Structure 1
Amino acid sequence: MSDLRVGVVGVGVMGADHAERVARKTSGARLVAVADADHGRAEALAARLSEWPAGGESGSTARHSGGTAYGEGVRVVEDPLELIAADDVDAVILASPGSVHAEQLFACLDHGKPVLCEKPLTMDAASALQVVEAEHKLGRQLIQVGFMRRFDPEYAALKQLLDSGDLGRTLVLHNVHRNKSAGPAFRSEMIVRDSMVHEVDVARWLFDEEITRITVHKPKPTSVVGDGVFDPQLAVFELANGAIADVEVFVNFQVGYEVRCEAVAERGSATIGLGSGVFTRAGERWGGTMPADFRTRFEQAYDVEVQRWVDATRRGEIDGPGAWDGYAAAAVCEAGLASLSSGTPVEVALADRGNVLGT
């Protein structure tokens, strides 16, 4: 089979990382085009990732109607919708802001383009449900959502252990999600929608149940954030089978990037995210290493995720969380935002999956 020709929309931190992953590390795929609102950023990335023809000079460009081509490799397209529609783009990675995902996802569906969409699927549950319904009408799945923790070896091993039943039924899930810093533009609602959403998907996946209610608590905020920002946040998820999951999200932890998960079952517990090697506490010191950001902690997960997405796309399938998972997470986060505002538990308004998907 020929290589899958991939276009990346949005080449900020995550999109640039994915673009380089496709260009340098993913077999069976070739990066052919990028688009970004910051055209200069897209051009710089394309120039860096392009493969130069024999005898050519690095930095040489050629303009044509489809954008700016760098060497033999990556071209820059000004309009993301033009990239999605392009004949030489077989599949798309969306790493653009969530506010434009709906339009771009509908374009992918209209053109029959498989798409790996970074979270959130869309910015609200209503538009996310419209995406699910539109995909269902096509009769095949084209959308995979970038909940990469499902591809992390530690999370995958935890899922396998819990599904085996060796520990009995899983009763409680404890999660910690801490970033070193998030910057002044990261507001309270973004902690729910852009950070906590990962634990929403983890809880749904590990329990294989929907979340029916969420409560978001607001402890005293850290002094490093501005007025009106609630960081950290504590959330409690109640699931359809009676299980409980909680998460502490702290995006200005100041120490490093730390993600931990402990599952408590009837006959034991299992914890991931403690770091590799021997972790010691002695002499008022602790020993171990902590990654600086998410790209280091989950590099292997992203590598596996993109490789499996490429392999599945070439087979005409998806291999990971789909549009429904993105919608369900959006619905939980929407209820979480209401709970963040009210300080009370909020029921999750989730459409009936059988009615929507006919299953």
Structure 2
Amino acid sequence: MGADHARRLATRIAGASLTALADPDEGRVGALAEELDGIAVHADPLDLIASDDVDAVVLASPGSVHEEQLLACIERGVHVLCEKPLTMDSESSLRVVEAERAGGRDLVQVGFMRRFDPEYVRLKALLDSGRMGRTLLLHQTHRNKSVPHPDFRSEMIVRDSLVHEIDCARWLLGEEIVSIQVISPTPTSHAREGVVDPQIAILRTASGAVVTNEVFVNARTGYEVRVEAVAERGSAIIGRPASGVYTTTADPGGGDGSWGGPIDPDYRVRFERAYDLEVQAWVDASRRGEVVGPTSRDGYVSTLVCTAGMQSLASGVPVAVETPGS
């Protein structure tokens, strides 16, 4: 993701110049810097954040180091686009929100890029228009072909994948989530031993709407993300590769799955346009001294719901969510 953003900033975004990269993998970051015409390289990301050549920062680092890096950006007063999750738990996310508030400036945008995806934007406008009446249900599907990382655990499905669906539900419905329950069928044989995959998360909102979320990170067919909104006078679906009834089939030989046409292999293909729009909006806003899109509070609330979701994953029962200020 970091390399993808670096290439995006260097070649496709107006109003910004890529000046520095940081990564502990010297070989990888050195090759990327050479590809991008000799960009400065820092072994320590905190050195990059402190550099006089840096006016704004994109964080695509592991969530476990986000808090330290975000606090460094806030202390220096530089705008930052932080990939999800904001941090790994609600306590550290709250510390980031409080630090930003204490500094007196909005500086943090969270990388929930679906808010910039043209299909999601159209669905949000349709729901907000009231043409279909009150929205009663959202059905959200989030499937990955596979998860190659050997340390990917059941909790990470909630914290790193479901977090997108939580933000989408809050944004599309315009209200807070008051409870979450995470359940699962028998795990797929493609999951690592002990990993609960797929998972179904059931969210209830303040108005009584229900959101069902399927997250399946070893689905084998490809990257599938879609939403169906069911309202009082109609429904709407986004993310389908074709109209009508269709099926997806895995390739026994390990290649990409198919529906009679290609399935996107990963998030970078499915949401390429959304990422471009997100980063361009962030650059434009940063130059104005503003923040657009998901804020640090949005990141905090999503992490708060995920924390409750991990409790429900362990117990199988609904867990209440209390959102401060809601």
Match of 1:287 in 2: 260
Cα separation, 2, equivalents of 1:16 and 1:226? 27
Cα separation, 2, equivalents of 1:279 and 1:334? 37
User: Residue 122 of structure 1: CA displacement?
Assistant: 0.6
Q: 1:271-294 CA deviation, whole Å, 9 max, x = no partner?
A: 000125x56659x99523211111
**Residue 262 of structure 1 is aligned with which of 228, 252, 257?**
228
Give the paired residue count: 316
**Residue 171 of structure 1 is aligned with which of 116, 123, 136?**
136
Cα separation, 2, equivalents of 1:185 and 1:257? 20
Q: 1:47-97 CA deviation, whole Å, 9 max, x = no partner?
A: 1012xxxxxxxxxxxxxxxxxxx2xxx100111111001111000000000
Name the aligned partner's letter for residue 241 of structure 1. S
Cα separation, 2, equivalents of 1:90 and 1:266? 48
- Cα contact 2:188–2:197 (8 A) shared by 1: yes
Q: Given the superposition, is the C-alpha separation of residues 286 and 107 from structure 1 closer, same or farther in structure 2, using an over 3 Å criterion?
A: closer
Which runs of structure 2 are paired with 1:99-110 in the superposition (5 Å)? Answer: 99-110=64-75
- Cα contact 1:279–1:287 (8 A) shared by 2: no
Which runs of structure 2 are paired with 1:191-340 in the superposition (5 Å)? Answer: 191-275=157-241, 286-340=259-313
Cα separation, 2, equivalents of 1:177 and 1:341? 21
> Could you list the runs of 5+ residues in structure 2 that have no partner in the other structure?
250-257
Is 1:346 paired with 2:319?
yes
Secondary structure of the structure 1 residue equivalent to 2:221? coil
Is 1:22 paired with 2:4?
no
User: Residue 109 of structure 1: CA displacement?
Assistant: 0.4
User: Residue 139 of structure 1: CA displacement?
Assistant: 1.7
Q: 1:117-155 CA deviation, whole Å, 9 max, x = no partner?
A: 000101100110111111111222100000000000000
Cα separation, 2, equivalents of 1:326 and 1:225? 28
User: Residue 40 of structure 1: CA displacement?
Assistant: 1.5
User: Residue 351 of structure 1: CA displacement?
Assistant: 2.4
Q: 1:156-194 CA deviation, whole Å, 9 max, x = no partner?
A: 000000001111111100011000001243210010000
User: Residue 227 of structure 1: CA displacement?
Assistant: 2.0
Q: Given the superposition, is the C-alpha separation of residues 84 and 268 from structure 1 closer, same or farther in structure 2, using an over 3 Å criterion?
A: same
Cα separation, 1, equivalents of 2:245 and 2:177? 36
Name the aligned partner's letter for residue 10 of structure 2. A
- Of 342-351 and 121-130, the range deviating more from structure 2: 342-351
Which runs of structure 2 are paired with 1:45-124 in the superposition (5 Å)? Answer: 45-50=32-37, 70=38, 74-124=39-89
> Could you list the runs of 5+ residues in structure 1 that have no partner in the other structure?
1-13, 51-69, 354-359
Q: Given the superposition, is the C-alpha separation of residues 315 and 242 from structure 1 closer, same or farther in structure 2, using an over 3 Å criterion?
A: same
Cα separation, 1, equivalents of 2:244 and 2:261? 5
User: Residue 223 of structure 1: CA displacement?
Assistant: 0.5
- Cα contact 1:279–1:286 (8 A) shared by 2: no
- Cα contact 2:75–2:103 (8 A) shared by 1: no
Percentage of pairs with the same residue: 61
Name the aligned partner's letter for residue 92 of structure 2. S
Is 1:43 paired with 2:30?
yes
Name the aligned partner's letter for residue 311 of structure 1. D
- Cα contact 1:119–1:326 (8 A) shared by 2: yes
Secondary structure of the structure 1 residue equivalent to 2:151? coil
Secondary structure of the structure 2 residue equivalent to 1:269? strand
User: Residue 224 of structure 1: CA displacement?
Assistant: 1.2
Task: Point out 4+ residue stretches in structure 1 off by more than 4 angstroms.
Answer: 278-282
Secondary structure of the structure 2 residue equivalent to 1:249? strand
Cα separation, 1, equivalents of 2:44 and 2:188? 40
Question: What TM-score, normalized to structure 2?
Answer: 0.94
Name the aligned partner's letter for residue 98 of structure 1. G
Name the aligned partner's letter for residue 232 of structure 2. E
Largest Rg, 1 or 2: 1
Cα separation, 1, equivalents of 2:245 and 2:214? 23
User: Residue 352 of structure 1: CA displacement?
Assistant: 2.7
- Of 217-226 and 319-328, the range deviating more from structure 2: 217-226
Higher strand share: 1
- Cα contact 2:63–2:85 (8 A) shared by 1: yes
Match of 1:61 in 2: none
Cα separation, 2, equivalents of 1:234 and 1:155? 21
Secondary structure of the structure 1 residue equivalent to 2:17? strand
